[in-house]
Structure 1
Amino acid sequence: EGLIAALVAVFGFFFGIAMTKSGLLQPINDFFHSEARVVWLDDEIPTLYNWLGINKWIIIAVITAGAVPFLLKGQPFKKGNRGFYWSTAGALVGVVAIAAWWASDYFGGGARGLSFTGPLREFFFAVLLGDSAGNPDQSVSMLGITFTWSSLYVLAVPLGAYLSAKLMKEFKFKVPPADELLRVLLGGLVMGIGAQIGGGCNIGHGLTGVSTLAISSWVATIFIVLGNWTMVYFLLIRPMRDV
């Protein structure tokens, strides 16, 4: 949409990922990702269904039944004033998430769900270093640059956002004050550090991981929400109360 602050946040996010994956904070990342701290359940990634020992579709049915009343409160069948209403947009995101599994396997050499932590790191590494440093079995070399399918789909996100903003006549370059840019940069940096240590972001965990019922993604998503609530309180709610 032309928000310069969002672009600054993306760079901060990448810097946080890179310095944690391969830079100054690598020892901390290696500590949390060491084999001794990786939890397996019968040689599989812990999920709600293999932890509880019941069929996954039973858990999906229970979660769906519990979510329906909350979704109905949001009037999902109401028509939006402009663009897609939240329910339509959510359904389309779900379709894209499903398609990503197939597309990454067919075009990229291995199934990968939607995420931005790994793909964003791979994209910038490919641009800056000529090698995305991704899985060799899922990498392709062209014009001297080695990249992954996931590093390329990252490009489609700002392109799609730009086209959408232009169609809605909402595109406009917006440059915030310097102090806000610094705050956004530091926020992106912290998010990148947390995403690398936590193994994913709100997309990788909240959209893809939660839908696979991975326990790690449920835990990560809960704390992402709690972290957001905490910062909203300190940055927005409390200052308004002090006025």
Structure 2
Amino acid sequence: MAGTKTLAATTRKGTGKGAARSVRRDGRIPGVIYGGGDAAEPIALDYRELNKLIYAGHFLTTIFELDLNGAKQRVIPRDYQLDPIKDQPLHVDFLRLKPGASLRVQVPVHFLNQDICPGIKKGGTLNIVRHAIEMRVPADNIPEAVTADLASLQIHDSVHITDLPLPEGCKPTQRERDFTIASISPPLVAAEEPAAAAATSAAPAAAADAKGGKAAAPAAAAPAGAPAKAPPKGKK
């Protein structure tokens, strides 16, 4: 389960691009808290702390106890924007979590025992169809990842969603079919080059000629200027 972390924030005044740029000039990142039946609250967060949390991983599945001017709220990040050139955070959205709440999250899939997978050891390749699965989970039980065990998979075998052990209360949002998570593809066999195939077929014939003696000489051409033989009688 994803852990709970604390994060300090302050209320910011004003909304829109101008107000957001002003917050960034002060070394802070604009954000907003919404949901839970309450009005949206514009906030500002410390740039360095937020940047570290984003790049530490699992940011969108981590529950935060947000200290907003001394009042604490339980929230989870729902989205964030990065500068397309500098990859620095520009804005972050938080969702309030009320008791008993559930939410949709993308849960990563971790693949275990690739080193002993029979299909991979025979030359097969792990073909990952889904690196993450969208699930509805309890706010108090957000998994960091689900695992797929490859220890017994042969070439052409697949792992489906029903093969994965899911944490209690966690259900995939796509429930109408048993979709594929990954499969073991067979090794690729390169097609034989035509020239190589011709050379291979010609080799036995050449060997046979060498073993039986000299090859038969081609028929001698008629000397230049020699008269042509008359056709047999009765033939033109």
Whether TM exceeds 0.5 here: the answer is no
Q: Which has the higher contact order (CA 8 A, sep 6+)?
A: 1
Would you tell me which structure has more helix in proportion to its own residues? Answer: 1
Larger Rg: 2
Q: Which has the higher strand share?
A: 2
TM-score, scaled relative to structure 2: 0.20
